[in-house]
Structure 1
Amino acid sequence: MSLVRPSTIIQIMLMPEDYRDGVDVELKRSYIHLAQAIVSELPEDARDDGSIMRLSARLMKPFWDTDDPAACELWNVSMMRWLRNTTRIMSNDMKQYNECAHPGGLPAINYSYVDFDFGRGKGVFRIKLLDENQIPENAPHMVSKGRELLNDQAFGDADIVLVRMPSKASYTRQLEAFAEETAAYEEEKRRREQLAAEAEDMQVEHAQDPSASGDRLAVDGGDADAASEPEPLVKPEFTLDYSVWGIEYADGTVLEFDAKA
Structure 2
Amino acid sequence: MPQPHPSLALVLDVDEAYATKETRLEVGRCYSYVGSTVVRSHARADGEQPSNRAELHVKLGNRRYLKSSDEGADELWDDVIERWLFNQFGTVANNMRIYNRRQREIGGIELDFDYLDVVLENGELVVRVRLDSTSGVPADVSAVISKVRSALNAGIFGDGVRRVIIPSDIDYRRQVAEAQTPSEQDPGTEAESLPAQDENLARGEAPAQAEEPFTESDDLVDTSEQDALAELEAQMEAKFALPDPDFEIDYRIWGVVLPDGTTREFDSASLSPRNEG
- TM-score, normalization by structure 2: 0.68
Please tell me whether residue 58 in structure 1 is matched to residue 59 in structure 2.
yes
Q: Which runs of 5+ in 2 are unaligned?
A: 192-201, 204-245, 271-277
Count of residue correspondences: 219
Q: SS of 2:55's equivalent?
A: strand
Could you tell me how far 1:250 is from its partner in structure 2? 4.5
Take 1:49 and 1:250, find their aligned partners in 2: how far apart are those partners?
Answer: 28
Q: SS of 1:13's equivalent?
A: strand
Take 2:37 and 2:143, find their aligned partners in 1: how far apart are those partners?
Answer: 25
- Runs ≥4 residues deviating over 4 A: 101-104
Give the aligned residue type for 1:55.
L
Aligned residue in 2 for 1:251: 260
Could you tell me how far 1:254 is from its partner in structure 2? 0.5
Please tell me whether residue 2 in structure 1 is matched to residue 2 in structure 2.
yes
Could you tell me how far 1:131 is from its partner in structure 2? 3.4
Take 1:175 and 1:104, find their aligned partners in 2: how far apart are those partners?
Answer: 31
Spell out the pairing of 1:5-16 with structure 2 (5 A cutoff).
Answer: 5-16=5-16
- Alpha-carbon distance change, 9 to 28 in structure 1, aligned in 2, over 3 angstroms: same
Give per-residue Cα distances to partners, 1:51-84, cap 9 Å, x unaligned: 1111112221221222345111111112222222
Give per-residue Cα distances to partners, 1:188-230, cap 9 Å, x unaligned: 59x99xx99xxxxxxxxxxxxxxxxxxxxxxxxx99xxxxxxx
- Alpha-carbon distance change, 101 to 75 in structure 1, aligned in 2, over 3 angstroms: same
Could you tell me how far 1:3 is from its partner in structure 2? 2.9
Give per-residue Cα distances to partners, 1:156-196, cap 9 Å, x unaligned: 11343x2111000001112223333x1x53xx59x99xx99
Q: SS of 2:178's equivalent?
A: helix
* Alpha carbons 2:120, 2:126 under 8 Å: kept: yes
Take 2:258 and 2:57, find their aligned partners in 1: how far apart are those partners?
Answer: 20
Take 1:98 and 1:87, find their aligned partners in 2: how far apart are those partners?
Answer: 17
Q: SS of 2:63's equivalent?
A: coil
Q: SS of 2:2's equivalent?
A: coil
Q: Which has the higher helix share?
A: 1
* Alpha carbons 2:64, 2:121 under 8 Å: kept: no
Please tell me whether residue 169 in structure 1 is matched to residue 170 in structure 2.
yes
Could you tell me how far 1:28 is from its partner in structure 2? 2.3
Q: SS of 2:128's equivalent?
A: strand
* Alpha carbons 2:58, 2:120 under 8 Å: kept: yes
Aligned residue in 1 for 2:18: 18
Could you tell me how far 1:133 is from its partner in structure 2? 1.7
Could you tell me how far 1:137 is from its partner in structure 2? 2.4
Identity of aligned residues (%): 26
Take 1:153 and 1:121, find their aligned partners in 2: how far apart are those partners?
Answer: 18
Take 2:50 and 2:76, find their aligned partners in 1: how far apart are those partners?
Answer: 33
- TM-score, normalization by structure 1: 0.72
Take 2:74 and 2:254, find their aligned partners in 1: how far apart are those partners?
Answer: 23
Could you tell me how far 1:251 is from its partner in structure 2? 2.9
- Alpha-carbon distance change, 239 to 36 in structure 1, aligned in 2, over 3 angstroms: closer
Aligned residue in 2 for 1:108: 110
Give the aligned residue type for 2:164.
V
Q: Which moved more, 1:79-88 or 1:97-106?
A: 97-106
Spell out the pairing of 1:15-164 with structure 2 (5 A cutoff).
Answer: 15-44=15-44, 50-59=51-60, 60-68=62-70, 70-101=72-103, 105-120=107-122, 122-160=124-162, 162-164=163-165
- Alpha-carbon distance change, 71 to 127 in structure 1, aligned in 2, over 3 angstroms: same
Give the aligned residue type for 2:24.
D
Q: SS of 1:50's equivalent?
A: coil
Spell out the pairing of 1:220-239 with structure 2 (5 A cutoff).
Answer: 238-239=247-248
Give per-residue Cα distances to partners, 1:128-177, cap 9 Å, x unaligned: 112322112222111111111112221111343x2111000001112223
Q: SS of 2:56's equivalent?
A: strand
Give the aligned residue type for 1:42.
H
Take 2:79 and 2:168, find their aligned partners in 1: how far apart are those partners?
Answer: 29
Could you tell me how far 1:48 is from its partner in structure 2? 7.5
